Structure 1
């Protein structure tokens, strides 16, 4: 009876190559969805055989990127403060968190039609979209956000705004660390501009303090 095949863990250099290929693919596909695997390998500084050793074809590479994005987005959605947060603060925190994984988010939407398919992309984005819709619904019930659109429709519109602003940053026509996008999102949702700016600054300051504490720990 043949022995079962045991998969050996990736060696450190192999893991490094895989991570570099994924990071490069994310960047190159974000610029040009039609980029070839050979061009990605060249940009990553590896030979074609190395890339194909990790990803047998374009579909395998894109699926790995989708799974990476899914993990990143699930991590963002899972990071919540204890207790119930005011809707405007929750939305600001959500946008700032999404911005940190914005390249993955934008890439998924760019590849949705021609490669991954809308069903797969919707599956990956579902946790983030559900969270945004839930926050908006809560804010609408509290009278904080506009209620002339259903929360799910407003969520879709705000997602499009975020993606557009991400693309402006990637194109070099605008600079933002996520705070201006968070303010724009709150304003579009119905929060007065000055109040939106104050909310975002408060949430961003807390996030910076938490990051500093984590670094010192």
Structure 2
């Protein structure tokens, strides 16, 4: 019986370095141009197309992996946001920090939306969405956020408003500097319980 050959540690390390370089190049290239080609990304990564396709069989897989990496890095960055104290103030801080990440990856988001189904994009946001859900639930427990709508719906509203703001900027209908305060005002109004005064 012939033993199954295994890759040496050196080859595995080389492969991991190639993957890291390709993903970094994909995030950078797609972050500038959502239509960036596989050839452009391979060149930026310093690898050949054959090497790139050896790790990512097609452009859709590459865009998926690049977007997943960007979301994961953003999720890690948002873990540093102070969410203590008044849930409304905490929500405002989270929106501002989240928007900075969305703004930085607007072009990459366009690339993802062009080739990935909405369900996949939503699934990749599961970690950040869970953080938002916990904050909303705390606000609900303190009677500051509405409870007459499902929490999952409120999380979805935040996701949709963020992405709509990115779409408006891409279409020239919104100035980037206006986005965070507009998003905050929209969401705090949407989250405020009926009959309660919307915070300024």
TM-score (norm 2): 0.70
Q: Distance in 2 between matches of 1:170 and 1:110?
A: 13
- Structure 1's consecutive aligned runs of 4 or more residues displaced over 6 angstroms after TM superposition are none
Contact 1:106–1:166 (CA under 8 A) maintained in structure 2 = no
Number of residue pairs aligned between Structure 1 and Structure 2:
182
Change (3 A) 1:171 1:54: farther
Q: Distance in 2 between matches of 1:54 and 1:100?
A: 33
Deviation at 1:158, TM superposition (A): 2.4
Q: Distance in 2 between matches of 1:105 and 1:124?
A: 16
Stretches of structure 2 lacking an aligned partner (at least 5 in a row): none
Aligned-pair RMSD on alpha carbons? 3.7
Q: Distance in 2 between matches of 1:156 and 1:2?
A: 45
Contact 2:140–2:147 (CA under 8 A) maintained in structure 1 = yes
Contact 2:27–2:108 (CA under 8 A) maintained in structure 1 = no
Partner residue, 1:211 = none
Q: Relative to structure 2, which stretch is displaced further, 146-155 or 175-184?
A: 175-184
Stretches of structure 1 lacking an aligned partner (at least 5 in a row): 30-34, 197-217
Partner residue, 1:200 = none
Contact 2:106–2:166 (CA under 8 A) maintained in structure 1 = no
Partner residue, 1:201 = none
Deviation per CA, 1:54-113: give whole Å up to 9, x if none.
63230342133133223223213311338x32211221121111112105478558735x
Change (3 A) 1:2 1:184: closer
Change (3 A) 1:3 1:183: closer
TM-score (norm 1): 0.65
Change (3 A) 1:109 1:19: closer
